[in-house]
Structure 1
Amino acid sequence: MRSAACERLIAVLKTPRQAEALDLAGWSELVASARAANLAGLLAERVAAAGITAPPEATRHLEAIRQLSRRQTQSVRWEVHGLQRALCCLGIPLVLLKGAAYAVSDHPVGRGRLFGDIDILVPRHTLGDVELRLMVAGWASAKTSPYDQRYYRRWMHELPPMVNVRRGTVLDVHHTILPLTSRHAPQAETIIRAASALPDLPAVRIPRPEHLLVHSIVHLLHEGELHNGLRDLFDIDGLLRAGAGEADFWPRVVEASRTLDVVAPVAFGLHLARHLLDSPIPPQVIEDLFNAAGGPASRLLTMLYTTALRPENEAAESAAATLARFAIYVRAHWLRMPPHLLLRHLAHKSIVRLRKDEPATDGRA
């Protein structure tokens, strides 16, 4: 069971007017929970949009986070222009994912969002040329050990993370949306072909709304690390609410989940959004997806995510949340790799950490 502070944060984000009943201590707790969940920017935007007057102490924090979010959005857009300059000569589509897509397309989900890195998707056969052009433009691999390089290039859905040597910006170059060893095998070409071009950035593309949603769900349910899990769930809720205004949105979501071979995770992701955030999803959509996936939502998995999706400060103090997160972490690894590769990978990570003579192989794997 989640704490009263977590429930209040979710309730205020869903219905901002509830914040009007809070005293100064309540506002302090609310802002602290939002910061711990990486949702302070979203809280600030929704409080401002609702015209709510917060105490001066809370207002200072919320306004500061709004300004930080806007500066980060500008920085992401500036970086995307740089990626356009670096890669346009290749004549390939450069598809933005997640936060970068929201920022550049001015999607409602991007308002108030804070960014950790930039994610792009390119055709797999172009990876060598893309990596070379990025290196020329000042990007370098953040992973230096031979094992890390082999791990990403042979098994994962992306190159090793790249860092700009001048600005420290982190770039993840994807060639698909799930590891090559995953039990699901989405074809990234489907997302790339359907993506929309931007008028002022000829090489840059934004995925279709249903593909943004599917990728956000798949990311949450396969990542294993949930420090931004509640934020990611609110991303999903925002994508659902924005897309639901289109007459054919739900049939496209169902078709995209089937085409990309991710029916089961999409079904559970939609179930989770409705269960935890009351997201407006037609029951028939979820029922059809679960029927196609071969069974109803797992009660155990629902319980684990309900327990695990909470702000970091609260999760760190809860034994139940710690256990739930560990179970989800193990499950994510099981989905990402077959048993023999998983055992080999985890054994290597354990040896490296015991020796402490080189960095851990991959904090997310």
Structure 2
Amino acid sequence: MPLLLQVLRDPAVAMDLRPLEWDLLLRQARRGVLLAKLAVLLEPWLDSIPPGPRHHLHAALLTAARQSKLAHWEVDRIRAALQPLGVEPILLKGTAYLMAGLPASQGRVFGDVDILVPKARIAEIEASLLAHGWNFQEELDAYDERYYREWMHEIPPLTHEDRGSSLDVHHTILPPSARIQVNTAALFEDTRELPTQRGVRVLAPVTMVLHSAAHLFHEGELEKGLRDLFDLDALLRDFGNDPAFWAALVPRAGVLGLTRPLFYALHYATRWLDTPVPADVMRAASANAPAWPSLMDACYDRALMPDHPSCDRAFTHSARMALYVRSHWLRMPFGLLAQHLGRKAWMRCQPTPEATGQA
């Protein structure tokens, strides 16, 4: 088990670390985007930690606090841009945890704001955001435009021209071309208004967990996989204090079409983080286990660890590649996938403007 995971599971372990072990711990935490989370867990012992590591952990806490302030301002600006349209965006992932004041937000850093809005309103929402200073991160050709507009669950990523903040605008949580068809209408039926921020909403607890599961277990690039697994652990521990949450979890996964991602979420949270899941809920979720669970364990046990050489085991690269291919297989039907990957391979073979002297 990587040192980072040992310390995150039992922070007191850090008190016996030697200097080289501290160096390794911090490197693993940075690669796993978990340095601020580590700092939060070690905060009670911060004065006892050697000066070198303590400075890094203190800096991570300051960075997380600053990001929290910036995120609150960014959400307010998004709300202001969409309020004239009568649209209340639904916050997703890290921003939602932060704005809802959930334990999952403690030490949780994120690079962009994700919102969910009705697909029928996408054109006017996009126009309003563009008018308020957001622009597309890069110029897209006709194929990429079609890729986002027809096959993806979001419009092209946006960046604010003054603040440099990133915004992802989703109209559902998995691509419409995906093998799993999400009941998107049901997503919008299960939201909550934030008492501290009128005009924006978050998913209700059960649906929030299911979205987190779908996001993690359909991803092909898992550099942040362990962070996302800790998100699930924190959400399940928090919401699980209400027995009604557990009673609704598996049925709600059936309504949304997310029974397989829920199984993976509960299986790996309990396997790696000892997340307390009632036995009857685990049995019900296990009815949707994959046909080859040991093969998936072999892949995820490797790929969910931080992308640092010290965390690698035999066949780690192969496991990550297999899950990357699987993510594309889940995202598109075979014909569309072959066309898409073929075009990407062809584009990589084309000379860049710099190489041809046209820059």
* TM-score normalised according to structure 1 size: 0.92
Note if contact 1:86-1:137 (Cα within 8 Å) is conserved in structure 2.
Answer: yes
Paired with 1:336 and 1:50, the residues of 2 have a C-alpha distance of: 44
Q: Deviation of residue 294 (structure 1)?
A: 6.6
Partner of 1:254: 250
Query: Deviation per CA, 1:211-250, whole angstroms, max 9, x where unpaired?
Result: 1111111111111111111111111111111111112111
Partner of 2:143: 147
Q: Deviation of residue 23 (structure 1)?
A: 2.1
Question: 1:324/1:96 Cα in 2 relative to 1: closer, same or farther (>3 Å)?
Answer: same
The answer to which of 307-316 and 345-354 deviates more is 307-316
Partner of 2:279: 283
Where 1:180 maps in the other structure, the secondary structure is: coil
**Matching of residues 9-24 of structure 1 within 5 Å:** 9-24=4-19
Query: Deviation per CA, 1:283-340, whole angstroms, max 9, x where unpaired?
Result: 321221222x276661101110001122122279666211110000000111110000
Q: Deviation of residue 50 (structure 1)?
A: 5.8
Tell whether 2:226 aligns with 1:230: yes
Superposed CA RMSD: 1.8
Matching residue's letter, 2:82? L
Query: Deviation per CA, 1:172-229, whole angstroms, max 9, x where unpaired?
Result: 1001110001111112332222211123433200111111111111111111111111
Tell whether 2:236 aligns with 1:201: no
Paired with 2:90 and 2:282, the residues of 1 have a C-alpha distance of: 28
Query: Deviation per CA, 1:105-143, whole angstroms, max 9, x where unpaired?
Result: 121111111111110000110111110000001111224
Which ranges of 4 or more aligned residues in structure 1 deviate by more than 3 Å?
49-52, 294-297, 315-319
Paired with 2:131 and 2:201, the residues of 1 have a C-alpha distance of: 22
Paired with 2:351 and 2:327, the residues of 1 have a C-alpha distance of: 25
Where 2:155 maps in the other structure, the secondary structure is: coil
Note if contact 1:41-1:69 (Cα within 8 Å) is conserved in structure 2.
Answer: yes
Paired with 1:285 and 1:237, the residues of 2 have a C-alpha distance of: 15
Note if contact 1:257-1:263 (Cα within 8 Å) is conserved in structure 2.
Answer: yes
Note if contact 1:315-1:322 (Cα within 8 Å) is conserved in structure 2.
Answer: no
Paired with 1:164 and 1:223, the residues of 2 have a C-alpha distance of: 26
Partner of 2:56: 61
Paired with 1:295 and 1:227, the residues of 2 have a C-alpha distance of: 23
Tell whether 2:181 aligns with 1:217: no
Could you list the runs of 5+ residues in structure 2 that have no partner in the other structure? Answer: 354-359
Where 2:148 maps in the other structure, the secondary structure is: helix
Partner of 1:339: 334
Question: 1:187/1:49 Cα in 2 relative to 1: closer, same or farther (>3 Å)?
Answer: farther
Paired with 1:313 and 1:111, the residues of 2 have a C-alpha distance of: 23
Paired with 2:248 and 2:41, the residues of 1 have a C-alpha distance of: 29
Question: 1:66/1:49 Cα in 2 relative to 1: closer, same or farther (>3 Å)?
Answer: same
Partner of 1:166: 162
Tell whether 2:13 aligns with 1:30: no
Q: Percent identity of the aligned residues?
A: 38
Question: 1:253/1:38 Cα in 2 relative to 1: closer, same or farther (>3 Å)?
Answer: same
Partner of 1:361: none
Aligned length: 352
Where 2:135 maps in the other structure, the secondary structure is: strand
Matching residue's letter, 1:220? L
Paired with 2:20 and 2:137, the residues of 1 have a C-alpha distance of: 42
Matching residue's letter, 1:353? R
The answer to which of 99-108 and 315-324 deviates more is 315-324
Tell whether 2:312 aligns with 1:311: no
Where 1:223 maps in the other structure, the secondary structure is: coil
Where 2:91 maps in the other structure, the secondary structure is: strand
Partner of 2:188: 192
Paired with 1:316 and 1:151, the residues of 2 have a C-alpha distance of: 35
Paired with 1:181 and 1:52, the residues of 2 have a C-alpha distance of: 52
Could you list the runs of 5+ residues in structure 1 that have no partner in the other structure? Answer: 359-365
Q: Deviation of residue 53 (structure 1)?
A: 2.0
Note if contact 1:222-1:332 (Cα within 8 Å) is conserved in structure 2.
Answer: yes
**Matching of residues 34-113 of structure 1 within 5 Å:** 34-49=29-44, 53-113=48-108
Note if contact 1:84-1:201 (Cα within 8 Å) is conserved in structure 2.
Answer: no
Matching residue's letter, 1:268? Y
Paired with 2:289 and 2:347, the residues of 1 have a C-alpha distance of: 40
Where 1:158 maps in the other structure, the secondary structure is: coil
Note if contact 1:315-1:321 (Cα within 8 Å) is conserved in structure 2.
Answer: no
